[in-house]
Structure 1
Amino acid sequence: MKLSAVTSAAIVATGLLASTLASADTLKKIADSGKITLAYRESSVPFSYLSGPGAPVGFAVDISNAVVDAVKKRLNNPAIKVDLQAVTSANRIPLLTNGTIDLECGSTTNNSVRGKDVQFAINHFYTGTRLLTKKSSGVKNYADLAKKKVASTSGTTNAQVIRKYNRDMNLDMDIVLGKDHDDSLLLVDSGRAEAFAMDDILLFGLMGNARNPADWVVVGDSLQVEPYACMMRKDDPQFQALVNGVIGGMMKSGDFEKLYNKWFMSPIPPRGQNLNLAMSKELRENLVAQSDKPAQ
């Protein structure tokens, strides 16, 4: 299903609907409607992205599909329909809280601010903000971007992080925002920004999918380590238990590590690039801890 325009009236209504839907039973909603609506991202490589015409692919997409299988089994209804809804960093939380989508598994940071509006599942990845730039730019770290334009993506924690760092270090950067990661990359590719500040794993994925990957480089210190997790509506313990049961079960059985190796240690579509990114210490520890602890 294509992403429909979110009108200003719908955004206003989100606040009114949230208190009602926040306590809704997602499993009952799915059972009554006969469908579950999954969110996907168009350019969050390798988590959730479009590799060509058709349905999205990625590490988080596979997690979402495993949740769907568990929902069908729980409700004893293999005919449950799966609708797909494209989301951006800016609209993913409103579309979840107003009931448009039922589950968002992508590249969403689990932090305490967002936790006031949504519920997060077990953390499935850990990452930090770095910079993607053209090799020809000469940029090596944040200080090289003083008084220059720096791109990030609207609605992300990275945009907040780079703004704070800019203020704290008095770099006088001009922060420009794309609506999604492809837009932010285009700002750099077209010369309208010198670098793109984003989670390092997404930068490596975007670089691998670029027309000329050898022209690009990921640079800079990692400003913080943050967890990714799937989002659900708040106050829905049955659905939360089901989602965590799927992810936790995969972590315990070894299926999670197999899935990780598929998307981070093997060639992936559409260009067959291999990110060759070994599992971090934080994530390996969470295979045992199965924590949903947020970033601050």
Structure 2
Amino acid sequence: MKRLVGLTLAALLLAGCGGYDDTATPAPPTAGAAAPAAPSECANDGTQLRSYEPSGDVGEGPAVSDIRTRGRLIAGVAADTLLLGARNPNTNQIEGFDIDMVYAIAAEIFDDFDPDAPGRRVELKVITAADRIPLLQDGTIDIVARNMTINCARWEQIAFSQEYYSAGQKVLVGKGSGITIDDLAGKRLCAPSGTTSLENIEKVLGAEPVSSTDNSACMVLFQNGEADGVSTDDTVLAGLAAQDPYAQVLKSDFLTEEPYGIGVNADDRDLVELINTVLEDMRRDGRWQASYDRWLRPDLGVAGVQPAPLYGR
């Protein structure tokens, strides 16, 4: 039965990989293709959350002007992460909390953005976690809205918006497996390549890391018995557990803190400032809360609070 569930999930995800006119889906890269982390002497003590404070000429800089001239915003997103960014099999469109962030940014850039026809002004490019930094650096994509943790080493390679969601790493295992949060030593836990979650499996949990290309691939390894569980952000695990009746997220405090930011090319400070303006507007007008209540609250079961911005970079 476990294998059947895994194959069913894999088939569903593969069936959803067909694109629509404004979505590009690349061939899956090999696991372990993450860009090497830049040497860093910084500490993730909260100062890494400082971003660029919006200035008086937000929206008038070169990066934003280039996007307007092109006529569309190109965003790197997930299509297999239920609740955050996943393809709806009924509409063939990608949707979720992270996708709402993309559309809010596009609405600030383009006066004629239509939420009922977002493909006219937004290209959602499906990428893996390992692709995020390289594709920002080479200009293939303008932003990453793919549950990306802000940390010091990444700031040395790209730029980030203010924090838009406070997540934390947890562990998903099989119901009836007997595995507890205090019994992870030597257990095989999967996380996608190029993620802080994969690093934390050994460093924080003392477990054996198993890497794969994305969250859905980790889930299939778990369902086929090639991993004892999956360990990544609580938001991701909530979506995975919602798809598999044999899986459960172990109850625990956050094992790590995973502050999400919108990733941007390091040279595009004007775009970062525009995104920060959008996030502040979403706080005031309730759009952030409405998106959280729609996508995350039902499965996480807790009230969400939008993080306060930190500036001064």
TM-score grouping bracket, smaller chain normalisation = 0.7 to 0.9
Structure 1 partner of 2:196? 157
Q: In structure 2, do the counterparts of structure 1 residues 293 and 222 end up closer, same or farther at CA, with 3 Å as the change threshold?
A: farther
TM-score (norm 2): 0.74
Corresponding letter in the other structure for 1:290? P
- Give the direction of change, closer, same or farther, for the CA distance of 1:124–1:7 in structure 2 (3 Å limit): closer
Q: Do residues 73 (structure 1) and 111 (structure 2) align?
A: yes
1:120 aligned to which of 160, 165, 172 = 160
Shift of the 190–243 alpha-carbon distance from structure 1 to 2, 3 Å rule, reads: same
User: Which of 143, 147, 154 matches 1:107?
Assistant: 147
Which of 30, 44, 53 is equivalent to 2:81? 44
Aligned residue runs from structure 1 range 197-276, under 5 A: 197-210=231-244, 213=245, 215-219=246-250, 220-265=252-297, 274-276=298-300
Identity %: 26
Kindly tell me: are residues 107 and 292 of structure 1, through their superposed partners in 2, closer, same or farther at Cα, counting changes over 3 Å?
Answer: farther
CA distance in 2, matches of 1:137, 1:276: 22
Equivalent position SS for 1:91: helix
- For 1:59, the aligned partner's letter is F
The question of whether the paired residues in 2 share the 8 Å contact of 1:119 and 1:232 is answered with yes
Structure 1 Cα separation of the partners of residues 249 and 234 of structure 2: 7
The aligned counterpart of 2:228 is 194
Q: Could you say if the C-alpha distance between residues 6 and 188 of structure 1 is closer, same or farther in structure 2, counting changes exceeding 3 Å?
A: closer
**What are the ranges of 5 or more consecutive residues in structure 1 without an aligned counterpart?**
12-23, 266-273
- Alignment check: 8 A CA contact 1:45 1:206 kept: yes
Q: Which amino acid aligns with 2:186?
A: K
1:17 aligned partner? none
Kindly provide the CA deviation profile for residues 193-215 of structure 1, in whole angstroms up to 9, marking residues without a partner as x: 111111112101111122xx2x2
RMSD: 2.8
Aligned residues of 1:129 and 1:224 also touching (Cα < 8 A):
yes
1:232 alignment partner, SS class: strand
How many residues end up aligned between the 2 structures?
A: 256
Stretches of 4+ aligned residues off by more than 4 angstroms? 5-8
How many angstroms apart in 2 are the aligned matches of 1:136 and 1:84?
39
Does residue 291 of structure 1 match 2:313? no
Number of the residue aligned with 2:125: 85
**CA distance in structure 2 between the partners assigned to 1:178 and 1:7 by the alignment:** 10
Of Structure 1 and Structure 2, the greater helix share is in 1
Structure 2: 5+ residue runs without aligned partners?
1-22, 34-60
Task: Work out the CA distance in 2 between the residues paired with 1:257 and 1:68.
Answer: 19
Taking a change above 3 Å as real, the CA distance of residues 293 and 279 of structure 1, as seen in their structure-2 partners, is farther
3-state SS, counterpart of residue 136 of structure 1: coil
